[in-house]
Amino acid sequence: MTKIAIIGAGAWGTALAQCYATAGHDVDLWTRLQDHADEMIEQGRNDRYLPDIDLHNNINISTDLTEITQAELILNVTPAQYLRDSLRQLAPFLRDNQPIVICAKGIEIESHSLLSTVAHEECPKAKIAILTGPNFAIDIARGLPSASTLASDPETGKFLMENLTARNLRLYFTSDMVSAQIGGAIKNVIAIACGICHGLNLGESARAALVTRGLAEIARLSESLGGKRDTLMGQCGVGDIMLTCSSIQSRNFSCGVALAQGKTIDEILNERTSVTEGVPTAKAAQALATANNIDMPITQAIYQCLYENLPITAALDQILNRPARHERE
């Protein structure tokens, strides 16, 4: 049995807590809000983010960060744009070489940094890893089978693979942390485009084309930052983009559908309690692509829709009227 601390009691953090508690581990699930902790303890559920799932008895709900000193490893599930602040709060309590697994997907807007870079800056004593892949929280919480990519250095990866592989969450290891993160982040932007396509009834062929060209954008950006294209053929690339770009359960896909139905992005986000990561990621990815002179037309079009009031029809025309090019470009 491993002592695992999970920082962030949203849907994904709660699902991971349920997964590892069911696997026999001792899990501390941390939330920053005392009233949220009190609700979960009293109700035995996380009705704010993952209703109808009875929390396992091995899950201890906490607001006390000092308890993480007892954890053998930490899963940080804080959304990407809040990760730096979360890690700053964690840093004083960390032991040397304590593993921190980043479970968010995104790129920091302010610095245009990958989340592993943010983690290394704020927690230099820790061993940093990335957990990413095609997972819906409700599936994991219900014990349904799934798989993910774990990215880290080989030594840390061996320890984490031994302790974080569960019956319903199979892990595949890579040392390519760049591609693992770019795949997980940019697919959320592509999912917004696919949701728009679905909302406008443009058909499955158009959506398949968006997914394919979206994966090409992800590969170009990954390679420019030192990642490997082949890594994206696994769970963190093909797997993640397939799931996120094809289901209304995806917050990013459903965001695109709502945009196609005429809602503004402010209206959509104000209706939600959970973060739609593709929205801030579009801004960060556009800046990163510009800085590295990488052609990312789908990402650019979604960024312009979200932040520059480009009409959806104009964005589609912008994508569809691009010149023909080689398949690998």
| 329 belongs to a structural domain | no
Domain with 230, as residue range(s), is 181-320
Over its length of 329 residues, how does the chain's per-residue pLDDT go in tens digits? 899 999 999 999 999 999 999 999 999 999 999 999 999 999 999 999 999 899 999 999 999 999 888 999 999 999 999 999 999 999 999 999 999 999 999 999 999 999 999 999 999 999 999 999 999 999 999 999 999 999 999 999 999 999 999 999 999 999 999 999 999 999 999 999 999 999 999 999 999 999 999 999 999 999 999 999 999 999 999 999 999 999 999 999 999 999 999 999 999 999 998 889 999 999 999 999 999 999 999 999 999 999 999 998 888 778 777 666 666 66
- Predicted pLDDT at 316: 79
Residue 149 and residue 224 in one domain: no
pLDDT at residue 323 in the model = 64
pLDDT score of 329: 60
pLDDT value of residue 224: 96
Check whether residue 149 and residue 271 sit in a common domain.
Answer: no
Residues 237 and 150 in one domain: no
Residues tagged active-site: 187
Residue 236 pLDDT: 97
In a shared domain, residues 247 and 289: yes
SS3 for the chain, per residue? Answer: CCEEEEECCCHHHHHHHHHHHHCCCEEEEECCCHHHHHHHHHHCCECCCECCCCCCCCEEEECCHHHHHHCCEEEECCCHHHHHHHHHHHHHHCCCCCEEEECCCCECCCCCCEHHHHHHHHCCCCEEEEEECCCCHHHHHCCCCEEEEEECCHHHHHHHHHHHCECCEEEEEECCHHHHHHHHHHHHHHHHHHHHHHHCCCCHHHHHHHHHHHHHHHHHHHHHCCCCHHHHHCHHHHHHHHHHCCCCCCHHHHHHHHHHCCCCHHHHHHCCCCCCCHHHHHHHHHHHHHHCCCCCHHHHHHHHHHHCCCCHHHHHHHHHCCCCCCCCC
Instruction: Decide: pTM greater than 0.85.
Output: yes
> Domain check: are 52 and 164 in the same one?
yes
CB 104 within 8 A of CB 274: no
Q: Are 35 and 13 in contact (CB under 8 A)?
A: no
User: Where does a domain end: 175, 195, 217?
Assistant: 175
Same domain, residue pair 30 and 110: yes
Domain shared by 224 and 100, yes or no:
no
Task: Evaluate whether residue 327 is within a structural domain.
Answer: no
Number of domain units in the chain:
2
Q: Same domain for 255 and 113?
A: no
Question: Which CATH number goes with the domain that contains 44?
Answer: 3.40.50.720
Q: Are residues 144 and 199 in the same domain?
A: no
For residue 74, list its beta bridge partners: 5, 100
